[in-house]
Amino acid sequence: MDVQKLVSEMTLKEKASLLSGADFWHTKAVERLGLPEFMMCDGPNGLRKQDGESDHLGLFTSISTVCYPTASAVASSWDEEMADKLGQMLGDECLREDVSMLLGPGLNMKRSPVCGRNFEYYSEDPFLAGKIAAAYIKGVQSKGVAACPKHFAANNQEYRRMSGNSVVDERTLHEIYLQAFEMAVKEAKPKSIMCAYNMLNGTYLSENKYMLTEVLRDKWGFDGFVVTDWSAGKDAVKGVEAGLDLVMPGGPKDHEEAVIRAVESGVLDEAKVDRAVINILNAFNWTLENKLSGNRPSDETTRKADYKFARELAENSAVLLKNNRVLPIRSDRKVLFVGEFAKKPRYQGSGSSHINSAFVSNAFDAAADRNISFVQGYDTGEKDLKRIAMLREEAVEAAEKADIIVIFAGLPASYESEGFDRTNINLPTDQDKLIEELTHLGKKTVVVMHNGAPVAMPWIDRVDAVLDMFLAGDGVGEATVRLLYGEANPSGKLSESYPYKLSDNPSYLNFPGEAGNPVYAEGVFIGYRYYEKKHMPVLFPFGHGLSYTEFEYSDLEISSDRITDEDTVTVSIDVWNVGRYPGKEVVQLYVGDNESRANRPLKELKAFKKIELKPEEKETVTFTLDKRAFSYYDERIHDFRVESGDFTIMVGASSSDIRHAASIYVEGSTDIPLTVTERTAIADILETKKGKKVLGPIIKKTLEDHKNESVDEDAMGEGGNEMFERMVLEMPLLSLVSFDIMTKEETDKLVKKLNR
């Protein structure tokens, strides 16, 4: 369609009608001009299209389809290629079902491990989340289906997420909570973005011009349309003014009529309505122009291929947290499977992403040809204490005859869902007791976890192995068995830290906030950024994951040890598979600022790559780092900048398993705007280019003179020179007069010169 021409031919009523939906899943059609309706659906980990007519809440039965691993699992694969392929698979399904836009992926950071929707989000780290999301979006949109990352932004809890006010400082907002969205926009160019329900610093996201226009469009170059989360629209006119395009769902004409009244009364410029309509139609026109053939058959062959990929993704995402040489299990071992989840696995979360699965594999059936037996051990729905104790006793009795006990544990479906947060990170008490009792038998014990977010493991020192499957989708049972028996080698790495207890988490005292109004007081220090800065031990660190083989890192090289922030630097390292099994390794690169004016984390993830190696095979992994890898968000310039100084480049197997490191000096080029007064701190003046040039020589001479005069350290004691230097740098300019370093007239002239 010729969008500009179409809009020019529309009446105001027709244009206003396009700014809100026709029903729960469709935009309005303009039959007079031949404009069709367009359909959008939930489905970050499987298509959730309603079967038949949609209900007014969008809650009725959806089509039978394949459920893929949820985002918390996909991110733990650290595999951009598989994320891209997942997007392609979902794009194909959208084509078959005539769906124009898929609502996802979820890009909210995991501020707290108890957010009820964390299974739908990728990571506590914005770089990892951004890279996986960009790959996923590219996959979806390669099929001509629009992707819609959500929920923009700072929507990190379920408690009062529809009305709460997230209070976040500018630096934290851009470094942590917006970075993944920024990466997705710039690298994958999504055709839509969904704004969140909540307020950000007192303004609803659906009416937040700073977010929807100044950041999203002006700063990042977003050229798609902004749609509300369902029922997140507030004031129609404020929304259009701020940069909101489409309000969903539809039905009532209140929004349409409010827009018409505002334009006719002169309150709202019709050009802004045109802009919103053009944004929407450009995106849907793109789907019409780019959709591939939707004739891919939805037959049994296709379904099997989709399921096979779901199983492969589950295998690629699972994380082997611990292994005392019990895994992989030898075929001659007599194995007891314990736990309800061995037959009825927990494989997805609850809420708007819940998939109507056609088939879900379970570990018991998948291992039917092996030397296994089964006992229930626990019942997630059981309330009777005698029955619970009896199930546990049966498990202990059955375990006496086994060589290896494999306990299938995890969080019941009622624990993790959209709409509410968890109150703790514990497993159900009966599961913890079951594991404890089984570890007392002196048998080799393996725990297989089914969970969408971190859990406490008070028994971790007494079990021999832990395999975390997360919420692994329809292929969970087969994938688990293949991993346990070594037919697949675990290669996932944690996309979030596992704390020992909830109170260790940096947001603990501010989550979910008074009346659902959280203050993000921890700043940029979420996840591993906090635990490492505090030197606080964790159960398992960010990026951790074991394999059945071993990898050796050697020969770290950087292309230069001194660059400017306009340059790039190449980092390479050799990785060898020195074990007995073929396997995959995630090579992780972190950067630390050795000395910064800003309070920065000890290290931050800036690059990663997943590689596959046969035994004795070697690969040279190469990364390229640019300015952004060394920068932080400086509120004084409202942008990212590099502070000149020494940085450390670290490469390893997790955030706490750094194998090699190298130093590099980066010269920053961005100057700091500063209006100098006699009360401005000397250190702040010296941070500017003019300050270094004008005041720098004076301060340097002052420090050198003091050093020469204080030859005898006894005058001020050890460290006296350092004390004097710090005192000088931290004092206001006027103090130079008090210390007889400059006269008042000289400082006045200096102030004028610095501000010229």
One domain for residues 643 and 720: no
Q: C-alpha distances in angstroms, 503 versus 113, 362, 506, 678? A: 11, 35, 8, 45
What phi and psi, each to the nearest 5 degrees, are found at residue 698?
-65, -45
- Of 290, 305, 332, which marks where a domain is finished? 290
What phi and psi, each to the nearest 5 degrees, are found at residue 658?
-85, 125
| In the chain, % of residues over pLDDT 90 | 85
> Into how many domains does the chain fold?
4
Residue 382 sits in a domain whose CATH number is 3.40.50.1700
Residue 29 sits in a domain whose CATH number is 3.20.20.300
One domain for residues 112 and 227: yes
- Identify the CA nearest to 543 among candidates 136, 124, 249, 131: 124
One domain for residues 462 and 609: no
The DSSP secondary-structure symbol of 121 reads B
- Identify the CA nearest to 604 among candidates 133, 184, 125, 173: 125
Q: Is 218 left (phi over 0), alpha (psi -120 to 50) or beta?
A: alpha
- Of 667, 697, 718, which marks where a domain is finished? 667
Q: Is 323 left (phi over 0), alpha (psi -120 to 50) or beta?
A: beta
- Identify the CA nearest to 104 among candidates 470, 352, 421, 360: 352
Question: What is the pTM for the complete model shown?
Answer: 0.95
Q: What per-residue confidence (pLDDT) applies to 437?
A: 97
pLDDT reading at 121 higher than 50: yes
Mean per-residue pLDDT, 710-727: 70
**Calpha distance 36→281 (Å, rounded):** 11
pLDDT reading at 381 higher than 80: yes
Instruction: Give CA 85 to chain center in angstroms.
Output: 19
Weakest-pLDDT range from 148-157, 398-407, 527-536, 726-735: 726-735
Q: C-alpha distances in angstroms, 614 versus 446, 550, 582, 618? A: 26, 11, 4, 8
Is residue 587 included in any domain, yes or no? yes
Q: What per-residue confidence (pLDDT) applies to 53?
A: 63
174: containing domain: 3-290
Is residue 31 included in any domain, yes or no? yes
Q: What per-residue confidence (pLDDT) applies to 709?
A: 76
Mean per-residue pLDDT, 571-578: 98
One domain for residues 169 and 277: yes
Cβ 692 vs Cβ 686: under 8 Å: yes
One domain for residues 352 and 412: yes
Q: What are the residues facing 577 on neighbouring strands?
A: 551
Q: What per-residue confidence (pLDDT) applies to 56?
A: 46
One domain for residues 327 and 182: no
One domain for residues 617 and 722: no
Cβ 281 vs Cβ 7: under 8 Å: yes
Rg (CA), the chain: 29
One domain for residues 611 and 703: no
| In the chain, % of residues over pLDDT 70 | 97
Q: C-alpha distances in angstroms, 151 versus 97, 156, 195, 211, 729? A: 24, 9, 5, 12, 44
**Calpha distance 351→59 (Å, rounded):** 9
Greater pLDDT, 755 or 585: 585
Q: What per-residue confidence (pLDDT) applies to 296?
A: 56
Is residue 526 included in any domain, yes or no? no
Is residue 643 included in any domain, yes or no? yes
The reply to whether 245 belongs to the active site is no
One domain for residues 635 and 704: no
Map 154-168 to HEC letters: CCCCCCCCCCCEEEC
| Each residue's pLDDT tens digit, 161-219 | 999 999 999 999 999 999 999 999 999 999 999 999 999 999 999 999 999 999 999 99
Tokens of 172: 């934290």
H runs (alpha helix) in 173-253: 179-188, 209, 236-242
Render the burial of 663-687: b for 16+ CB within 10 Å, e for the rest.
Answer: ebebebebebebebeeebebebbbb
Residue 629 sits in a domain whose CATH number is 2.60.40.10
Report the number of secondary-structure helices (H) and strands (E) in the chain: 23, 26
**Calpha distance 554→543 (Å, rounded):** 19
Identify the band that residue 60 occupies on the pLDDT scale cut at 50, 70 and 90: low
pLDDT reading at 681 higher than 50: yes
Q: What per-residue confidence (pLDDT) applies to 708?
A: 80
Mean per-residue pLDDT, 12-40: 95
Average pLDDT, the chain: 94
**Calpha distance 363→346 (Å, rounded):** 11
Is residue 524 included in any domain, yes or no? no
pLDDT reading at 712 higher than 60: no
Tokens of 315: 């295998």
**Calpha distance 416→478 (Å, rounded):** 23
- Of 633, 667, 701, which marks where a domain is finished? 667
**Calpha distance 714→736 (Å, rounded):** 25
Cβ 64 vs Cβ 4: under 8 Å: no
Mean per-residue pLDDT, 434-455: 97
| Each residue's pLDDT tens digit, 642-667 | 999 999 999 999 999 999 999 999 99
SS3 54: coil
Catalytic one among 23, 92, 125, 229? 229
Tokens of 648: 């450390």
Is residue 689 included in any domain, yes or no? yes
pLDDT reading at 714 higher than 80: no
- Identify the CA nearest to 177 among candidates 211, 203, 146, 208: 211
Is residue 506 included in any domain, yes or no? no
What phi and psi, each to the nearest 5 degrees, are found at residue 306?
-65, -45
Instruction: Give CA 541 to chain center in angstroms.
Output: 16
One domain for residues 323 and 281: no
DSSP string, 385-437: HHHHHHHHHHHHHHHTT-SEEEEEEE--GGGSBTTB--S-SPPPHHHHHHHHH
pLDDT reading at 676 higher than 80: yes
Q: What per-residue confidence (pLDDT) applies to 539?
A: 98
Q: What are the residues facing 515 on neighbouring strands?
A: none
One domain for residues 566 and 695: no
Is residue 517 included in any domain, yes or no? no
One domain for residues 77 and 177: yes
Mean per-residue pLDDT, 445-470: 98
Q: Residue 381, class by beta-carbon neighbours within 10 Å (0-12 exposed, 13-18 middle, 19+ buried)?
A: exposed
pLDDT reading at 475 higher than 70: yes
Strands (E), 627-674: 632-634, 639-641, 645-654, 657-667
Cβ 262 vs Cβ 236: under 8 Å: yes
Q: What are the residues facing 262 on neighbouring strands?
A: none
User: Tokens 């220090």 map to which residue?
Assistant: 525
| Each residue's pLDDT tens digit, 264-319 | 999 999 999 999 999 999 999 999 998 876 555 567 778 889 999 999 999 999 99
Tokens of 323: 């292994």
Weakest-pLDDT range from 82-91, 396-405, 482-491, 699-708: 699-708
Mean per-residue pLDDT, 558-569: 97
Identify the band that residue 720 occupies on the pLDDT scale cut at 50, 70 and 90: confident
